[in-house]
Structure 1
Amino acid sequence: MARIGVISISDGREHVHRGVRDFVLGKEDALVGALEAAGHEVVRGGEPVGSNVAATSAARQVAAAGVDLTVLHYAVWAFPHFTMLAADATPGPLLLLASIDPTEPGMVGMLAAGGALDQIGRAHTRLWGAPDDALVADITARADAAHAVGALRGSTFGRIGGRPMGMNTAVANTDQWQRLFGVDVEEIDQWEIVRRTEAADPAELRRGREWFERHANVHYDGKKLTPDLLERQIGTYVAMRGLIEEHRLDFTGIKGQPELTEHFCTMDVAEALLNDPYDHNGPKDPHVCATEADMDGALTMQLLKHVARTPVLFADVRHYHGDRDIWDLCNSGQHATWYAARSDDPADNLAKVHLFPEVFFFPAGGASVQHIAAPGRMTLARLTRIDGDYRLQLMLGDFENFDEATTDALTKQSTPEWPHAFARLDAEAPDFLSRFGANHIHAVPGDVRPQMRAVTELLGIRLDEFTRN
Structure 2
Amino acid sequence: MARIGVISISDGREHVHRGVRDFILGKEDALVGALEAAGHEVVRGSEPVNGNVVATAVAREVAAAGVDLTVLHYAVWAFPHFTMLAADATPGPLVLLASIDPTEPGMVGMLAAGGALDQIGRSHTRQWGAPDAELVAAITARADAARAVKALRGSTFGRIGGRPMGMNTTVANTDQWQRLFGIDVEEIDQWEIVRRTEAADPAELRRGREWFERLATVHYDGAKLTPELLERQIGTYAAMRGLIEERSLDFTGVKAQPELTEHFCTMDVAEALLNDPYDYNGPKEPHICATEADMDGALTMRLMNSIARTPVLFADVRHYHGDRDIWDLCNSGQHATWYAARSDDPAENLARVHLHPEVVFFPAGGASVQHIAAPGRMTLARLTRLDGDYRLHLMLGDFESFDAATTDTLTKQSTPEWPHAFARLDADAPDFLSRFGANHIHAVPGDVRPQMRAVAELLGIRLDEFTRSGAA
After TM superposition, the score normalised by the length of structure 2 is: 0.99
Match of 2:454 in 1: 454
The structure 1 segments of at least 4 consecutive aligned residues displaced by more than 3 Å after TM superposition are none
Match of 1:100 in 2: 100
2:372 is aligned with 1:361: no
Match of 2:349 in 1: 349
Match of 1:52 in 2: 52
Match of 2:265 in 1: 265
Match of 2:63 in 1: 63
Distance 1:231 1:67 in 2: 44
Distance 1:53 1:275 in 2: 48
SS at match of 2:92: coil
Alignment map for 1:378-393 (pairs within 5 Å): 378-393=378-393
Distance 1:354 1:55 in 2: 60
Distance 2:63 2:202 in 1: 48
Give 1:459 deviation, angstroms.
0.3
Give 1:70 deviation, angstroms.
0.3
Q: Which amino acid aligns with 1:308?
A: A
Distance 1:361 1:275 in 2: 23
Distance 2:118 2:185 in 1: 35
Unaligned runs of 5+ in 2: none
Q: Percent identity?
A: 90
Per-residue Cα deviation, 1:113-153 (whole angstroms, up to 9, x for no partner): 11111111111111111101110010000000000000001
Distance 1:331 1:461 in 2: 27
Match of 2:80 in 1: 80
Unaligned runs of 5+ in 1: none
After TM superposition, the score normalised by the length of structure 1 is: 1.00
Give 1:46 deviation, angstroms.
1.6
SS at match of 1:256: coil
Match of 1:132 in 2: 132
SS at match of 1:142: helix
SS at match of 1:113: helix
SS at match of 1:228: helix
SS at match of 1:185: strand
Match of 1:191 in 2: 191
Match of 2:409 in 1: 409
SS at match of 2:116: helix
Match of 1:29 in 2: 29
SS at match of 1:19: helix
Distance 1:102 1:179 in 2: 45
Give 1:99 deviation, angstroms.
0.5
SS at match of 2:234: helix
Distance 1:105 1:25 in 2: 15
Distance 1:455 1:467 in 2: 19
Distance 2:56 2:152 in 1: 27
Give 1:47 deviation, angstroms.
1.2
Match of 1:176 in 2: 176
What is the RMSD computed on CA atoms of the aligned residues? 0.5
Alignment map for 1:273-292 (pairs within 5 Å): 273-292=273-292
Match of 2:376 in 1: 376
Match of 1:221 in 2: 221
Give 1:51 deviation, angstroms.
1.0
Match of 2:246 in 1: 246
Q: Which amino acid aligns with 1:130?
A: A
Match of 2:307 in 1: 307
SS at match of 2:83: helix
SS at match of 2:293: coil
SS at match of 2:265: coil
Match of 1:89 in 2: 89
SS at match of 1:382: strand
